[in-house]
Amino acid sequence: MREVAIIGVGQTPVGEHWGKGLRELALEALEAAMRDAGVERLDALYVGNMLSGQVEAQEHLGALVADFAGMHGVEAVKVEAACASGAAALRIGYAMIAGGLADFVAVVGVEKMTDAAGEAITAALATAADAEYEAVHGMTFTALNALLMRRYMHEYGYRREDFAPFSINAHRNAVHNPRAMLRFPITEEAFASARMIADPITLLDASPICDGAAAVILCPADQARAFHERPVRILASAVATDTVALHDRRDPLWLEAVALSAYRAFQQAGARPEDIDFFELHDAFTIMAALSLEASGFAPRGRGVAMALEGAIFRDGRLPIATMGGLKARGHPVGATGIYQVVEAVLQLRGQAGPNQIPHARLGMTQNIGGTGATVITHILEAID
Amino acid sequence: MHPARAWRGRSQRYRLEGEICEGCGARLFPPRDICPECQRPARTPYPLSGRGEVYSYTVVYEPPAGYEEQAPYIVALIKLEEGPLISAMLTDVEPEEVYIGMPVEMVTRVLHRQGERGVIAYGYKFRPVLRRMATMPAQPATVTA
């Protein structure tokens, strides 16, 4: 297998892009990444997206984006794995280069959510769950996470307010990220009094509905230096799956696919959890952040929230998370999120994260979760000297 | 929902029919044909009692399309007495009365309607166990509508 490097990154601001559709967003991110890498020709293009068929009545995004980008004839397909679609597309691009089937690959994550009304987007997101046995009972994604959060509080004795540090950290970091959607700090008081969506989850536990696109350019690591002075190596790329339905898990509070995916990634990278300098995790809801920290090996069971309360997740803590705002405050354009995480990790490893820079960051981990943990994709990235 | 799709799920939605694994005896709901415990075929139908207790619950204030008229409603994970967890709405109960561990039983109700001409989908919901039922042998409810 060949080693794979990231030589270019690009991202649109995350937000409500009333003036731009899927193709314009995708192209904006792709062009920025190609400029950053200084490449003009690609062997393949992979597009991560979840909702285009439901929100825009548009599938076939591989060909659509390639066509709109003027890349006549290029290999291109869409990759879908619910909210993990972005990282799933990266996984395919990585495998193509590692396996020697391509040399220059672009991976674009793109999502357009604001063209659908509230109930329609809630229903569209619920398609990541089991349609026959979850969604038909009026289950929403927020509701599934609320079930986890209430049980977690019941088993470990936490209060709702104990989850506040996850959102406070994310919002604080988003202030300095020019691409983030919610660039304002929040207080513990605001967290405590936020509007209820699905008890005990409020607006300030949940990531926002938004649009956005992010892109990376990959090439064989031994050619990377010719294109970018600070390339980043993909040390590990690991996917694991679990039951789609939450109720089919023996122990819903243990995200088995997170544990498997993280374990495989650590094995590939030859690294341990304590070697990781920062972690871009999937904080779609505060409870997901806690469960991800635990199953990934950063906190013992039931201690994910305690780890946040101790401040270990802040920029100056033992394991900074959501360093550019996370899903909570950068925003969660679902199929694009996995690529945003990787773009932000690359900026950290290049030393280009501005006021949010983690000093001496060498190893960064990203983790993109589809559904309530049915698809989990972990990447470990390393700055190349 | 296409009528055939609603019809296909009738044994599960109306009778809570799961499966039993011939190999290890695990009782499964929903049916999944391969036992997750021992990976052997599990295709023998097995009706569940419909009794269980609340494992976790939440109140949905922002419903998906098609469920607006029921909101706010309670959805729960129910731990069935045979072992499986199941997702369902709670009915005949107020949110402030629900607690983790509450004994519940299956009833058949309308899950959702799709307008004037659409399919009316029936299926299981769960309600608190009625006191007068406690001494009677509980039966899974059947559909008469």
In a domain, residue A26? The reply is yes
Number of domains comprising chain B? 1
Domain that holds residue B121: 3-132
In a domain, residue B141? The reply is no
Q: Comparing A107-116, A308-317, B130-139, which segment has the lowest mean pLDDT?
A: B130-139
Please report which confidence band the pLDDT of residue A179 belongs to, taking 50, 70 and 90 as the band edges: very high
Per-residue model confidence as pLDDT tens digits over A124-174? 999 999 999 999 999 999 999 999 999 999 999 999 999 999 999 999 999
In a domain, residue A140? The reply is yes
For A261, residues 6+ apart whose C-beta sits below 8 A from its C-beta are: A238, A239, A240, A367, A376, A377, A378
Interface check for A120 against chain B (CB to CB < 8 A): the answer is yes
In a domain, residue B53? The reply is yes
In a domain, residue B145? The reply is no
Q: Are residues A163 and A267 in the same domain?
A: yes
Q: How far apart are CA A116 and CA A54, in angstroms?
A: 9
Alpha helices in A199-255 (DSSP H): 221-224
In a domain, residue A230? The reply is no
Mean pLDDT, residues A55-66 taken together = 98
Number of domains comprising chain A? 2
Q: Select which of A17, A83, A219, A379 is catalytic.
A: A83
Q: Are residues A89 and A155 in the same domain?
A: no
Average pLDDT, chain A: 98
Indicate which CATH number applies to the domain containing A142: 3.40.47.10
Q: Are residues A106 and A200 in the same domain?
A: no
Domain that holds residue A94: 4-117+210-224
Instruction: Specify the higher pLDDT residue, A273 or B143.
Output: A273
Mean pLDDT, residues A248-254 taken together = 97
pLDDT above 50 for A201:
yes
Chain B's closest residue to A136, CA to CA, is: B111
Q: Select which of A17, A228, A282, A332 is catalytic.
A: A332
Which residues on B lie below 8 Å from A287 (Cβ)?
none
CB contact under 8 A, A136 and B73: no
Q: Are residues A106 and A149 in the same domain?
A: no
In a domain, residue B94? The reply is yes
The amino acid at B136: M
In a domain, residue B99? The reply is yes
Q: How far apart are CA A32 and CA A364, in angstroms?
A: 22
Q: Are residues A146 and A286 in the same domain?
A: yes
Tokens at A175, concatenated:
């202030």
pLDDT of res. A231: 98
CB contact under 8 A, A201 and B58: yes
Overall residue count recorded for chain B in this entry: 145
pLDDT above 60 for B82:
yes
Mean pLDDT, residues B113-130 taken together = 91
So what's the ipTM on this one? Answer: 0.95
Mean pLDDT, residues B70-79 taken together = 97
Per-residue model confidence as pLDDT tens digits over B9-22? 999 999 999 999 99
Grouping H, G, I as helix, E, B as strand and the rest as coil, residue B96 is: helix
pLDDT of res. B118: 85
Q: Are residues A136 and A22 in the same domain?
A: no
Mutate to test the interface with B, among A133, A202, A243, A287 (most CBs of B within 10 A): A133
- Over the range A143-156, which residues count as b (16 or more CB within 10 Å of their CB) and which as e? bbbbbbbbbbbeeb
In a domain, residue B143? The reply is no
Per-residue model confidence as pLDDT tens digits over A268-323? 999 999 999 999 999 999 999 999 999 999 999 999 999 999 999 999 999 999 99
Please report which confidence band the pLDDT of residue B135 belongs to, taking 50, 70 and 90 as the band edges: low
Q: Are residues A327 and A379 in the same domain?
A: yes
Q: Are residues A25 and A74 in the same domain?
A: yes
In a domain, residue B51? The reply is yes
Q: Are residues A305 and A183 in the same domain?
A: yes
Share of residues in chain A with pLDDT > 70 (%): 100
In a domain, residue B92? The reply is yes
Tokens at A144, concatenated:
């599934």
Which residues on B lie below 8 Å from A200 (Cβ)?
58
Q: Are residues A73 and A149 in the same domain?
A: no
Nearest Cβ partner for B65 among A120, A151, A198: A120
pLDDT of res. B145: 45
Q: Are residues A202 and A215 in the same domain?
A: no
pLDDT above 60 for B133:
no
- B26 burial (CB, 10 Å; 0-12 / 13-18 / 19+) is buried
pLDDT above 60 for B140:
no
Interface of B with A (CB under 8 A): 1, 9, 12, 30, 32, 36, 55-68, 70, 73, 75-77, 84-89, 95, 100, 111-112, 121, 123, 125
Q: What phi and psi, each to the nearest 5 degrees, are found at residue B14?
A: -95, -30
DSSP per residue over A294-309, as a string?
Answer: HHTTSS-TT-HHHHHH
Between helix A141-156 and helix A118-125 the angle, nearest 10°, is 70
Q: Are residues A105 and A137 in the same domain?
A: no
* Residue A332 among the catalytic residues: yes
